[in-house]
Structure 1
Amino acid sequence: MIKKLLFLPNQRLISSFILPKFCTQYNSKSVQSFYFLANKLEDISKISSRNSGIEALENLMDDYIQGGDNELFLQMVRLLSCKVDNEEIQIANSSLIEILKVVFPDEDITKFLFEKGDIGLYAKEMLQKKLISQQNNQTDKNNLSIEEVIIFFEKLRNLQGDRSRIEKQELIINFLKKIQDPLEIQYFIRILSRSLRIGISEKSIIKALTNINKKKKDSLNQLLRDVQDRVFGYNTTLNSNIQIGTPVPPMLAKPVSDFDELLKFLKKYESKKVSLELKYDGERCQVHYCQDKGIKLFSRNLEIQNDKYPQLVQQLEKYFNKRDDIKNCILDGEIVVTDSKGNIKSFQEQQQNRKRKQDSNSVLAFDEDNIEKIYLFDLLYFNSSQHNHRDQTFRKQLVQDHFAVEGPVDHAESKIFDLSIQKDFEELKDLVKYYIDQKEEGAMVKSLDSNTFYDTNGRTQWAKLKKQVLSGGLADTFDVIPIAAYYGKGKRSGVYGSYLLACYDDKQKEYVALCKIGTGFSDKFLQDSTDRLKQKVCSQKPREYSVHRTFKPDVWFSKDAEVWEVECDSLSSSPIYTIGKTNYGDNGISLRFPRFLRIRDDKTTEQSTKIEQIIEFFNKQQAKPNNNSKDQNDNQQEREEDG
């Protein structure tokens, strides 16, 4: 302690006669340092156990809480979660690469990223190399403060207009050139690229802060609310006050494999009267409107969608301007794209249209061949009153009464059935089959009985039947994670030709291999995915991956790479996959004939399909007649050898 005292400036020494007071000041100065935060994050990155990681996160938070500066704590959490602003600062990885080429002009960043896939690590190693070449002993370096970093992001956010892209690059280049510590530049770049790569999610942060709050006997309730509302921008409880502009986690539905399971599911809630709704092949959207503040569109993942659907925003503004009876509202619906005849385009066509418009100079031009519209199916807030606690029938009626079908707004196709009447149940089944025959995505079944509030905390009282239900196969597609790739051969040379997919194990906190996939890809997708995922390449297999020793892919990806939706013919037993091995002896579970459908950029890897769901589907499949596991396994082995 005396050694620390001797290093203090004289003015600090004079004001530090009392030892406890000195300790407080010293700790306070430490937590204000960006290097202090970066060093703690580096320590957390070396922890493989999730529970140990949460504990380390608690210790980090406690360092800031003890100082009593709540604003500093919130600034730290913004950096920790890469939430430097409620709206994303649009700096793509490709722009960061160009910026680093200017800062470190003599280095080969492309080769480094292909081998290691970490742009922050690149900046760290290049600065280390630069300091060594300059024989800089780093004893006189000026460390950044957290406040300086936050102020930088505020300046970056405020740059707008035609020259904003160039001005942002210049601002970042000048700031990077001032950074003198390799660890600081590594985590600054990672925050700028919105990926710390240390296994921390919003849920981890909330979990750690909740644990501290319990230990302190709920004395941090307000701080916890501030983190949820001011940093993450969402409400997580039914009784919390909903606000316009603050997204609410969407209510989800339980996938069911057949109509018998649907009845069992609804019986659990004593549901008889239900609404059957067409499931559109679009993108989930929450619409927030206020006469004074305008419109915000939020994705399923609570991200702002205005830039993705500018035409829809423009048309919704015209729609609401005509209606004096609507002061403000929060609506739930599905965005689709139609042609001039009203035919709904596929999700893939919708995404291609969005990208084409973003790349053009006339994003707001109305395109008769690609009309953006929204099908409404729920309402949470209307004219300054929240209704998420009201029953489903009441909410649906408000939508019908106040939101006319006009312009970009339509109502989700729905029909009410009483399942206690056999005739109604048969008609419901026929309508679902009709939807499938018409190549629709499927159907949603929603209970209309009492206590059917809008539940954001679990999959309750909504069920979904997707197109696989008629084939006797699976009722749902799977959201999986590409964790590795194999170089393509022949016409696929120069790109990744096939991938190793995994799903997430919530209990073990690891990513477990599920299958290989090489079908369902277009040539363009293979090239685009190779270009994207090169940025996620790791030098070695991450510790969180559970993969059989026989798999030797050409490259491994980081665990935050992407989420893909795939379909398959069925689930099969396989000796080289580990999911369900404890349940089924020597064999695990794999997907038989998997086919790629689309990228789920609205989901994080931890929101992918869990192994419990895989096991549940497999058990249901095994219970069905004419299930030949041996044939499935043999076919799966043949497909993998071909891949």
Structure 2
Amino acid sequence: MASPSKRRKKSSPVTSQQSRNLDFFFGKQRQAAAQPKAVFDGASEGLTDEEYARKLAEQWAKEDETRGSNAGGPSNTTVTGVKKRKLSSSKATEISGMEQQQQQQLSATGGEVGYGQKAREIPPSLPPLVGTGKQAVLSVPPTPKKTAAVLLDAASESDILIEEMPFDTDPLQFDPDIYGSLVAKWPNGKAPYGLLTRAFVLVNSTRSRIRIVDTLVNLIRTLIRLDPDSLLDAVWLTTNDIGPSYETNELGLGGSIISKALTKTSGITPAALKKLYNKHGDPGDVAFEAKVKQRVLIMKKPTPLIANCPAIKNVYATITKIALTSGKGSQESKQRHVERLLVDAKGEEIRYLTRTLIQHLRIGAVKTTMLIALSRAFLLSAPDDAGWKCPEIPEDKEGRQEAFSKAEEVLKRCFARRPNYNDIVPAMVRGGIGVLQAECGMAIHVPLKPMLGSITRDLAEMLVKLQGRAFSCEFKYDGQRAQIHCDSDGKVSIFSRHLELMTSKYPDLVELVPKIRGDEVQSFIMEGEVVAIDSQTGNIQPFQTLAGREKKNVEFGSISVHVCLFAFDLMYLNGDELLSKPFRERRELMKSMFVEIPRRFIWVKSLDATSADVDLVREFFRSSLEARCEGIMVKVLDNSNASQTLSPEEEEESMKEERAPVSKGKGKGKGKSKENEKEDGGKNEKEKGGRRKALLATYEPDKRLESWLKVKKDYDSAADTLDLVPIAAWHGSGRKSKWWSPILLAVRNPDTGTFEAVCKCMSGFTDKYYAEMKEFYNDDESEENNINTSKNKKAYYETSLRPAVWFEPKEVWEIAFADITLSPTYSAAMGLVNEERGLSLRFPRFLRKRSDKSIEEASTPQFLADLYVKQEQGGKKKADIPEGEADGDDVDADDSQEELEVAEAGV
């Protein structure tokens, strides 16, 4: 019986074929060898960027016409239509108006301006290009109107001037007004994305915090003077976000979308793109190499489309559209937006645009830096016709620094209460720093950043810190911290500790909150802990039970995990802020104005005491552990206006703190500015002369103060914990050969955005968790959805070790350890306590995955250094420790010697 292939051959029509002898095959090889090798597909070979862009535009036009003719298209793909996340009316109107302006420009220039929904309408016949590179012009007859050649020359001249702008100079020596002539050269008078890119390049080229701040200050001042309408969009793009954290800002761009867009817009083959990624590891660097350097082999110098020099507003509007796009066909629509951005970008714009699309800009300019830069910029510059003037800046250094510090404190204070640049930046444009406190206070349904507590090693240390003060001890429940907002209409919003909206996760609380209000309560903001409980007995359930609840869109009738809200603070009531009131008064208002509902809404269990009530506090702490709590929170009840004299024991402790090593401010992550020291809550608690600063009982958003102290069951001299991020792993051996072991862990440097390796961990994992970890961090190359591992080291990972696989930074693990040691192998906190060695952990042990924390909340090098200093002050002396143990490696009883040797070798 004939095989299937033979049956198909018989049934196929007979065609004349060339006789394939040896000469035929060798001839093909010689012909292939004679042709130059190229890494590009045939779609772009021999075309300039200008010609290739126009070819893509024609293709997109046909695709758009086809999509428009179909009745069923992707839903939620336009800014003005129905969408998953609603924009403010002013923002939607702004984007809609911008699209109309783009279409008007389209009809005037014969091409599309910006990134609207309509296709690019390129005329069927275009005049040829004359010249090459930035001087290339279109050979069109002169007309009285502004010609395309003039526009292109103006764009080229603008590019050259922007590339030479000295943003990194002293702001007092920088004058943005001398660049006023650039506005006439910008399309529609809007600042180009290249202006933002120029600042990114300068910021990314230095580790000096002063120079980074100066660069951002000068960038912001330039936009204030030349294009204030683009300032807000530039701020969002610089902070690597597109909106406040309590809105849905996920772009939903997978690696495949960006890879396909790169292959289509640059002409590079997927195989060559993969080689570039293996070489660089950073998507931005890969895009830059693919789009700029590789195409130079067969193409002329890139020339941007005349009508499509990407403006800051257009880039931000397009990225916003990507985030809003959902429904059927959304992935194709997102890819088209990405392609159009990449086509219009040039040079360094491509690198930072790609990093923005993956939401990892990695320029070392964190949100705190942006607040400092904004405050200083608005002290030095004001928009034209703004109706307000900048204050006089003192000429002496001390006076100038004092003026800067006051402005920074005002802005940081307002941002902690209303963390939304959409409110703050327009207010500053209208009236400067002076209007912030009046216009940008607390508001219902806008979360404020929570106040944080400092760590104490044990009850004894806590009692010493609060000696002579009245305080309240509260159960520290093992649940999820929640901020509850309710307005006069009964609308409820619930936010997490990192300001994510989780109202849809707790429909039972949404239904409950209006019922707890007393007769005189109209609107309020309350804080509490959401804890899983047994609805029948009221017993507290472990956090893992709460973690098993669905994350969003929970149906009220399908709730299987019941929760109770344990309220502990009231920050806003009937339109009045309560933050400046002492904790005792806020708590009394909460208990008198709201009604408890058993097993659903109750107050946290508390005990009021002083440092003399040692036995009572100890018994209360023990009862919290018996109730399945993590420990206790201790809060100062009343403001203390007078400084208190230290006892002899406190005096000795103060002397130890004065002798503690401090950062010298050199190298990476070393040293803190005065502003950051203030943000850390004033760790230098003691004043000269044996006097102590007063601890306030007010609520201080976004600050970690010692008026709130945490005492947890594992906060003792040998059981500190750290929240670390797994970044890499080795293959296990012996019984663990099918899993990852050990795991490389890191702290996160919030100043640079880098992850600094601190130890390898192979203890505390169950077999079940090993299997789950292997499934989550799957390195099987055949898996198309494998997005959590890579063979290449991330550019923002700081370690000299060479693991078998690198992880994407996606989880936070709580790690216990014996003590902290100096290490020649690990770079964590290098320079904070020792100029040549970092810090590592001895005998690290996995406790649990912190699903309630994002990677931005992982432990920092400074926190690690502080624990090390406390350890040394406690008199802990390390004996002679083997090098491997000192570097933080430990061995389970089940781990073989071979596995330890592999971990030590780092191969």
What's the TM-score once normalised by structure 2's chain length?
0.58
**5 Å matches for 1:72-151?**
72-86=230-244, 87-94=247-254, 97-98=256-257, 100-101=259-260, 104=263, 107=270, 118-125=282-289, 127=291, 135=299, 137-141=301-305, 142-151=308-317
**In the alignment, what sits opposite 1:553?**
803
Contact 1:592 1:632 in 2 (8 A): no
Distance 2:836 2:262 in 1: 54
**In the alignment, what sits opposite 1:425?**
614
**5 Å matches for 1:226-245?**
230-231=420-421, 241-245=441-445
Q: Give the counterpart letter for 1:524 in structure 2.
A: E
Contact 1:444 1:464 in 2 (8 A): yes
1:371 aligns with 2:530: no
1:152 aligns with 2:318: yes
Distance 1:580 1:146 in 2: 38
**In the alignment, what sits opposite 1:395?**
586
Shift, 1:84, TM fit = 2.0
Q: Give the counterpart letter for 2:638 in structure 1.
A: D
Report the secondary structure of 2:890's partner residue: helix
Contact 2:748 2:754 in 1 (8 A): yes
Shift, 1:282, TM fit = 1.8
Which residue of the other structure, out of 510, 521, 533, is the alignment partner of 1:338? Answer: 533
**In the alignment, what sits opposite 1:478?**
722
1:47 aligns with 2:202: no
282-291 or 380-389: bigger deviation: 282-291
Report the secondary structure of 1:165's partner residue: coil
Shift, 1:417, TM fit = 2.9
1:565 aligns with 2:808: no
User: Are residues 319 and 508 of structure 1, via their aligned partners in 2, closer, same or farther at CA, if it must alter by over 3 Å?
Assistant: closer
Distance 2:274 2:728 in 1: 19
Contact 2:507 2:555 in 1 (8 A): no
Distance 1:514 1:621 in 2: 17
1:315 aligns with 2:315: no
**In the alignment, what sits opposite 1:454?**
699
Number of positions where the alignment pairs a residue of Structure 1 with one of Structure 2: 613
Shift, 1:592, TM fit = 2.4
Contact 1:331 1:379 in 2 (8 A): yes
User: Are residues 610 and 632 of structure 1, via their aligned partners in 2, closer, same or farther at CA, if it must alter by over 3 Å?
Assistant: farther
Distance 2:375 2:711 in 1: 36
Distance 1:584 1:418 in 2: 41
CA distances 1:538-593 after superposition (whole Å, capped 9, x unpaired): 95574783x5x6x33345668x7654332223334555456588868997643222
CA distances 1:362-414 after superposition (whole Å, capped 9, x unpaired): 73244454124432111110111111111111211222223323388423432
446-455 or 411-420: bigger deviation: 411-420
Report the secondary structure of 1:478's partner residue: strand
Contact 2:287 2:350 in 1 (8 A): yes
Shift, 1:503, TM fit = 3.1
The percent of aligned pairs where both chains have the same amino acid is 25
Contact 1:278 1:412 in 2 (8 A): no
1:202 aligns with 2:367: yes
**In the alignment, what sits opposite 1:500?**
744
**In the alignment, what sits opposite 1:413?**
604
Distance 1:542 1:130 in 2: 22
User: Are residues 303 and 185 of structure 1, via their aligned partners in 2, closer, same or farther at CA, if it must alter by over 3 Å?
Assistant: farther
Contact 2:521 2:574 in 1 (8 A): yes
Contact 1:124 1:186 in 2 (8 A): yes
1:32 aligns with 2:197: no
Contact 2:478 2:628 in 1 (8 A): no
Distance 2:707 2:544 in 1: 29
User: Are residues 490 and 149 of structure 1, via their aligned partners in 2, closer, same or farther at CA, if it must alter by over 3 Å?
Assistant: farther
User: Are residues 388 and 552 of structure 1, via their aligned partners in 2, closer, same or farther at CA, if it must alter by over 3 Å?
Assistant: same
User: Are residues 555 and 37 of structure 1, via their aligned partners in 2, closer, same or farther at CA, if it must alter by over 3 Å?
Assistant: farther
CA distances 1:612-636 after superposition (whole Å, capped 9, x unpaired): 4434434444565786544697755
Contact 2:791 2:804 in 1 (8 A): no
Shift, 1:276, TM fit = 1.1
**In the alignment, what sits opposite 1:329?**
524
User: Are residues 21 and 620 of structure 1, via their aligned partners in 2, closer, same or farther at CA, if it must alter by over 3 Å?
Assistant: closer
Report the secondary structure of 2:328's partner residue: helix
1:257 aligns with 2:448: no
More strand by share: 1
Which residue of the other structure, out of 827, 835, 859, is the alignment partner of 1:609? Answer: 859
CA distances 1:129-164 after superposition (whole Å, capped 9, x unpaired): 9966984753253332223233334545555xxxx3
Report the secondary structure of 1:53's partner residue: helix
Q: Give the counterpart letter for 1:305 in structure 2.
A: M
CA distances 1:109-142 after superposition (whole Å, capped 9, x unpaired): 7887677554455555555599669847532533
Contact 1:376 1:409 in 2 (8 A): no
CA distances 1:446-476 after superposition (whole Å, capped 9, x unpaired): 111234110123413110001114x6424x5
Contact 2:186 2:192 in 1 (8 A): no
User: Are residues 537 and 329 of structure 1, via their aligned partners in 2, closer, same or farther at CA, if it must alter by over 3 Å?
Assistant: farther
Distance 2:597 2:297 in 1: 67
Distance 2:871 2:599 in 1: 41
**In the alignment, what sits opposite 2:840?**
590
**In the alignment, what sits opposite 2:711?**
465
**5 Å matches for 1:242-321?**
242-267=442-467, 270-271=468-469, 273-292=470-489, 294-306=491-503, 310-320=504-514
Distance 1:506 1:90 in 2: 21
Distance 2:833 2:193 in 1: 48
**5 Å matches for 1:2-17?**
none
Q: Give the counterpart letter for 2:625 in structure 1.
A: I
Q: Give the counterpart letter for 2:249 in structure 1.
A: I
Shift, 1:528, TM fit = 1.7
Distance 1:122 1:584 in 2: 36
Q: Give the counterpart letter for 2:302 in structure 1.
A: Q
User: Are residues 573 and 193 of structure 1, via their aligned partners in 2, closer, same or farther at CA, if it must alter by over 3 Å?
Assistant: closer
CA distances 1:235-286 after superposition (whole Å, capped 9, x unpaired): 999996211122212111111112221122213xx51x22111111222221
**5 Å matches for 1:531-542?**
539=792, 542=795
CA distances 1:11-52 after superposition (whole Å, capped 9, x unpaired): 569999xx9864443378686222442454244334344433
Taking CA–CA contacts closer than 8 Å with sequence separation of 6 or more, which of the two structures ends up with the larger relative contact order?
Answer: 1
Shift, 1:439, TM fit = 4.2
326-335 or 520-529: bigger deviation: 520-529
Distance 1:367 1:117 in 2: 44
Query: How much is the aligned-residue C-alpha RMSD, in angstroms?
Result: 4.5
1:435 aligns with 2:624: yes
User: Are residues 234 and 55 of structure 1, via their aligned partners in 2, closer, same or farther at CA, if it must alter by over 3 Å?
Assistant: closer
Shift, 1:73, TM fit = 0.3
Distance 2:576 2:448 in 1: 15
User: Are residues 60 and 42 of structure 1, via their aligned partners in 2, closer, same or farther at CA, if it must alter by over 3 Å?
Assistant: same
Shift, 1:79, TM fit = 1.9
Distance 1:112 1:354 in 2: 40
> Which segments of 5 or more consecutive residues in structure 1 lack a partner in the other structure?
none
Report the secondary structure of 1:399's partner residue: helix
Distance 2:852 2:285 in 1: 27
User: Are residues 461 and 495 of structure 1, via their aligned partners in 2, closer, same or farther at CA, if it must alter by over 3 Å?
Assistant: same
600-609 or 451-460: bigger deviation: 600-609
Q: Give the counterpart letter for 2:859 in structure 1.
A: T
